[in-house]
Amino acid sequence: MEKERVSAIIEQIAQYGKGTRGVNRPAFSQAEKQARDYMIGLMQQIGLEVTIDEFGNICGRLEGTDKNAPAVITGSHLDTVPEGGNFDGVVGVVGGLAAIERLKAQGPLTHPLELIIFSAEESSRFGFATMGSKVLAGMVNLTAWGKAKDQAGITLPEALGEQGLSFETIRKAQRSKDTMKAFIEMHIEQGAVLERNEETIGVVEAIAAPTRMKMTIEGEAAHSGATPMGDRHDALVSAAMIILAVEEIALEHSHRGTVGTVGTLKVHPGAMNVVPGMVELWVDIRGVDHDSIIETLQDIKDTVSDIAEERETPVAIEVMSSEKPVHMHDDIVDIIENVCHKTGVVYRRMNSGAGHDAMNMAHLVPAGMIFVPCRGGVSHNPDEYASIDDIMAGIEVLTGSLYELAK
Amino acid sequence: MEKERVSAIIEQIAQYGKGTRGVNRPAFSQAEKQARDYMIGLMQQIGLEVTIDEFGNICGRLEGTDKNAPAVITGSHLDTVPEGGNFDGVVGVVGGLAAIERLKAQGPLTHPLELIIFSAEESSRFGFATMGSKVLAGMVNLTAWGKAKDQAGITLPEALGEQGLSFETIRKAQRSKDTMKAFIEMHIEQGAVLERNEETIGVVEAIAAPTRMKMTIEGEAAHSGATPMGDRHDALVSAAMIILAVEEIALEHSHRGTVGTVGTLKVHPGAMNVVPGMVELWVDIRGVDHDSIIETLQDIKDTVSDIAEERETPVAIEVMSSEKPVHMHDDIVDIIENVCHKTGVVYRRMNSGAGHDAMNMAHLVPAGMIFVPCRGGVSHNPDEYASIDDIMAGIEVLTGSLYELAK
pLDDT in tens, A287-314: 888 889 999 999 999 999 999 999 999 9
- DSSP 8-state secondary structure symbol assigned to residue B178: G
Q: What's the CA gap between A350 and B75, in Å, rounded?
A: 70
Q: How many helices (H) and strands (E) does chain B have?
A: 12, 15
Q: What's the CA gap between B339 and A43, in Å, rounded?
A: 85
pLDDT tens digits, one per residue of B175-232: 999 999 999 999 999 988 899 899 999 999 999 878 999 999 999 988 888 888 988 9
pLDDT tens digits, one per residue of A19-58: 989 999 999 999 999 999 999 999 999 999 999 999 999 9
B381 touching A (Cβ < 8 Å): yes
B70 touching A (Cβ < 8 Å): no
A344 touching B (Cβ < 8 Å): no
A221 touching B (Cβ < 8 Å): yes
Q: Quick check: bond before B269 cis, omega within 30?
A: yes
Name the 3-class secondary structure at B2. Answer: coil
Q: What's the CA gap between A155 and A139, in Å, rounded?
A: 19
Report the sign of the C-alpha dihedral through residues A64, A67, A72, A73, in that order: positive
pLDDT of residue B192: 85
Answer yes or no: do A226 and B284 touch at CB < 8 A.
Answer: no
Say if residue B127 is exposed, middle or buried (CB neighbours under 10 Å; 0-12, 13-18, 19+): buried
- The pLDDT > 90 percentage for chain A reads 85
* pLDDT band at residue A273 using 50, 70 and 90 as cut-offs: confident
Question: What residues of A are in contact with residue B241 (Cβ under 8 Å)?
Answer: 240, 244
Please enumerate in sequence order all residues whose Cβ is within 8 A of that of B9, keeping only pairs 6 or more positions apart, or say none: B42, B94, B97
**Torsion angles phi and psi, residue A356, rounded to 5:** -145, 165
Question: What residues of B are in contact with residue A354 (Cβ under 8 Å)?
Answer: 223, 225-226, 273
Question: What residues of B are in contact with residue A123 (Cβ under 8 Å)?
Answer: 271-273
Answer yes or no: do A377 and B222 touch at CB < 8 A.
Answer: yes
B144 touching A (Cβ < 8 Å): no
Model confidence at A191: pLDDT above 90: no
Model confidence at A223: pLDDT above 90: no
Quick one: closest CA in A to B220, which residue?
A381
* pLDDT band at residue B353 using 50, 70 and 90 as cut-offs: confident
Quick one: closest CA in B to A251, which residue?
B229
pLDDT tens digits, one per residue of A96-151: 999 999 999 999 999 999 999 999 999 989 989 999 999 999 999 999 999 999 98
pLDDT of residue A115: 98
Model confidence at A280: pLDDT above 80: yes
**Residue of B190, B191, B237 with shortest CB distance to A243:** B237
* pLDDT band at residue A378 using 50, 70 and 90 as cut-offs: confident
CA of A132, closest CA in chain B: separation in Å? Answer: 17
Model confidence at A166: pLDDT above 90: yes
Q: Which of A272, A369, A378 to mutate to test the interface with B (most CBs of B within 10 A)?
A: A272
A154 touching B (Cβ < 8 Å): no
- The pLDDT > 70 percentage for chain B reads 100
ipTM here: 0.71
Answer yes or no: do A381 and B274 touch at CB < 8 A.
Answer: yes
* Strand pairing class (B315-322; B278-287): unpaired
Question: What residues of B are in contact with residue A222 (Cβ under 8 Å)?
Answer: 377-381
A356 touching B (Cβ < 8 Å): no
pLDDT of residue B36: 98
Model confidence at B358: pLDDT above 90: yes
CA of A254, closest CA in chain B: separation in Å? Answer: 7
Quick one: closest CA in A to B352, which residue?
A226
pLDDT of residue A380: 86
pLDDT tens digits, one per residue of B25-62: 999 999 999 999 999 999 999 999 999 999 999 999 99
Task: Say if CB A327 and CB A206 are below 8 A apart.
Answer: yes
From A241-250, A298-307, A345-354, B218-227, the region with the lowest mean pLDDT: B218-227
Answer yes or no: do A82 and B272 touch at CB < 8 A.
Answer: no
- DSSP 8-state secondary structure symbol assigned to residue B173: G
**Residue of B220, B275, B378 with shortest CB distance to A263:** B275
CA of A80, closest CA in chain B: separation in Å? Answer: 11
pLDDT of residue A204: 97
Question: What residues of B are in contact with residue A192 (Cβ under 8 Å)?
Answer: 231
Q: Which of B274, B323, B352 to mutate to test the interface with A (most CBs of A within 10 A)?
A: B274
pLDDT of residue B222: 86
pLDDT tens digits, one per residue of B252-290: 999 888 999 999 999 999 988 889 999 999 999 998 888
Answer yes or no: do A221 and B381 touch at CB < 8 A.
Answer: yes
Mean pLDDT of the B141-150 span:
94
Q: Average pLDDT over chain A, rounded to whole?
A: 95
- Against a cut of 0.80, is the pTM above it? no
List beta partners, residue A322: A211
